[in-house]
Amino acid sequence: MIAIDICKTLYGSMGEMELSVDLRIKEGEFIALAGESGSGKTTLLRIIAGLEKARGTLKVGDEVWMDAKHTLPPQKRKIGFVFQDYALFPNMTVLQNLLFVQKDHALATQLLAMTGLDELKDRLPATLSGGQKQRVSLCRAMMNRPKILLMDEPLSALDPAMRTKLQQEILTLHKNFGTTTIMVSHDPSEIYRLANRVVVLDHGRIIQDDTPKKVLLKTSGSQKFSFEGELLDIVQVDIIMVAIVSIGQQLVEVVISPDEAASLHIGERVTVSTKAFAPILSNR
Amino acid sequence: MSNLSATVASIQSNDGLNIVTFSLGEESLSMVSLELDEAMCVGSKCLLNVNASSVAIGKKLSGMLSYSNQLSARVAAVESGELLARIVLDISGNRLESLITVASCQRLGLKAGDEVTALVKATELSVSRVLA
């Protein structure tokens, strides 16, 4: 069990904000940490890693990592940290980057094999692609067999195909090493594929803590096929009205009645929904 | 999934709204749609689709119904679950699926080989692809 009960006053663009998190995490859980930027996600990861000070307590199993009296330094915490920008040592080869953490050749070889990096072990980071660099930093994070693997939007700089591949590898490492993982992510498909629990932060507080499906599935009454968008226009066609709504990067059209049209205002946020039975799914 | 291979027989338009009729073997179908695919014209071959949840089934029908599409069909298969039943229909060699409750399926006594009427509203029918 990991017991986090911390407080810290943050000074951001929105002024002062109190980060206050009370969270119990079971060993082996995969937690996705979501929320708008500035909600305190990265600070929470850094506090767990010991890179930032905070008030409160942090217990991992029977070890106390932080309480009122003392704070365990980052290098004594069994933590793996993966950053969005890889943070590899540019003057060291792939293998040296791993061995810097722990002189464990067998483990380094195993990790490089698991992630298909064995042939690149003598290369310098500058000669690698983004996906390869992030694999290296993932392997490096596993080198001290971390109790907690912390990842701060690790895949957001990568293209969709590479993301899917690395998601699979992250899941494999998470399971094989029995790590507890906390990952900051905004990508619903990533969260659904990897996490068994989603914690949503807003202004420093937890506003949702549930399964990915409960948190991510947008519903509107009994309608399970639901999207939020902006109402751009309503045009009359014959005796029906057609509402044009922008959702994500797309425009959609919805047929509405004049009564419904009268109650809607151009420019407002609307929910487009239908029952899960109605849509037709086809591949491209 | 349903796949109806049909030919455009006529297109009526008003503003951005269209009603397209198709011929499918002996049957005629009609579809209400907003903007149409530019490639679509009278004589075009199209694959039509309708969600199984929107297909109703009638047996020994009498009286009048507003359904634009009342297609003579033969029940090819009935697959019953606990609550829902999938009825696979054959309409002049085309496959059309209907998803109804088991209660309705029993009420109509549906079984393979039955002659029935498939009921589809013109607003529920759609074109999945214009073939040529």
CATH number at residue A229: 2.40.50.100
DSSP string over A109-174: HHHHHHTT-GGGTTS-GGGS-HHHHHHHHHHHHHTT--SEEEEESTTTTS-HHHHHHHHHHHHHHH
pLDDT at A219: 76
**Structural domain span for residue A256:** 225-274
For chain B, the residues whose C-beta falls within 8 A of a C-beta of chain A are 14-17, 34, 49, 51, 53-54, 99, 126, 128
- Domains in chain B, please, with CATH? 4-130 (2.40.50.100)
Helix A130-142 and helix A160-176: axis angle, to 10°?
Answer: 10
Which residues of chain B form beta strands (DSSP E)?
Answer: 4-14, 17-24, 27-33, 45-49, 56-58, 69-80, 84-91, 94-101, 115-120, 126-130
Helix A160-176 and helix A105-114: axis angle, to 10°?
Answer: 140
Q: A240, B17: Cβ pair inside 8 Å?
A: yes
Nearest CB neighbour to B15, from listed A238, A278, A282: A238
Proportion of chain A in helix, strand, coil states, percent, rounded to 5 = 30, 35, 35
pLDDT at A38: 87
| Strand, helix or coil for residue B114 | coil
Query: How far is CA B17 from each of CA A242, B67, B70, rounded to the nearest angstrom?
Result: 10, 19, 22
- Same domain for A122 and A260, yes or no, is no
Residue where a domain terminates, one of A193, A216, A239: A216
Is there a domain that residue A191 lies in?
Answer: yes
Question: Could you tell me how many CB contacts below 8 A there are between chain A and chain B?
Answer: 28
Query: How far is CA A158 from each of CA A28, A153, A247, A248, rounded to the nearest angstrom?
Result: 26, 10, 23, 20
What band does A67 get if pLDDT is binned at 50, 70 and 90? very high
CATH number at residue A173: 3.40.50.300
- Same domain for A249 and A133, yes or no, is no
- Same domain for A202 and A231, yes or no, is no
- Pick among B4, B36, B50, B53 to test the A interface (most A CBs inside 10 A): B53
User: Rounded to an integer, what distance in angstroms lies between the CA atom of residue B73 and that of residue B58?
Assistant: 10
- Same domain for A151 and A185, yes or no, is yes
**Residue A240 contacts B, CB cutoff 8 Å:** yes
- Same domain for A30 and A104, yes or no, is yes
The alpha carbon of residue A244 is apart from the nearest alpha carbon of chain B, in Å, by 12
- Same domain for A194 and A238, yes or no, is no
Residue where a domain terminates, one of A216, A234, A249: A216
- Pick among A222, A237, A244 to test the B interface (most B CBs inside 10 A): A237
- Same domain for A180 and A234, yes or no, is no
Q: Whose CA is closest to A10, among A31, A35, A38, A33?
A: A38
User: Rounded to an integer, what distance in angstroms lies between the CA atom of residue A137 and that of residue A81?
Assistant: 8
pLDDT in tens, chain B (132 residues): 678 999 999 999 998 899 999 999 889 999 999 988 888 999 999 999 999 999 999 999 999 999 999 999 999 999 999 999 999 999 989 999 999 999 999 999 999 999 999 999 999 999 988 988
Nearest residue of chain B to residue A240 (CA atoms): B17
Which tokens go with B123? 């607003």
- What's at A221, amino acid-wise? G
- Same domain for A212 and A231, yes or no, is no
Q: Whose CA is closest to B83, among B70, B71, B100?
A: B100
Structural domain tally of chain A?
2
In this predicted structure, the answer to whether residue A162 has a pLDDT above a threshold of 90 is: no
Residue where a domain terminates, one of A176, A198, A216: A216
- Scored b (16 or more CB within 10 A) or e, A74-105 reads eeebebbbbbbebebeeeebbbebbbebeeee
Contacts with B15 from chain A: Cβ below 8 Å: 236-238
User: Rounded to an integer, what distance in angstroms lies between the CA atom of residue A230 and that of residue A247?
Assistant: 7
Contacts with B12 from chain A: Cβ below 8 Å: none
**HSE toward the beta carbon, residue B63, CA cutoff 13 A:** 6
- Same domain for A139 and A239, yes or no, is no
pLDDT at B37: 86
- Same domain for A212 and A229, yes or no, is no
Nearest CB neighbour to A278, from listed B16, B34, B51: B51
What band does A139 get if pLDDT is binned at 50, 70 and 90? very high
| pLDDT tens per residue across span A175-200 | 999 999 999 998 888 999 999 999 99
φ, ψ dihedrals at A245, nearest 5°: -125, 135
Query: What pTM, to 2 d.p., does this model score?
Result: 0.77
In this predicted structure, the answer to whether residue A284 has a pLDDT above a threshold of 80 is: no
Q: B15, A279: Cβ pair inside 8 Å?
A: no
Which tokens go with B25? 């073997």
pLDDT at B89: 96
What band does A105 get if pLDDT is binned at 50, 70 and 90? very high
- Same domain for A73 and A209, yes or no, is yes
- Same domain for A106 and A236, yes or no, is no
Residues A10-21 have a mean pLDDT of 86
Nearest residue of chain B to residue A283 (CA atoms): B128
Q: B16, A235: Cβ pair inside 8 Å?
A: yes
Is there a domain that residue A9 lies in?
Answer: yes
Contacts with B51 from chain A: Cβ below 8 Å: 277-280
Is there a domain that residue A279 lies in?
Answer: no
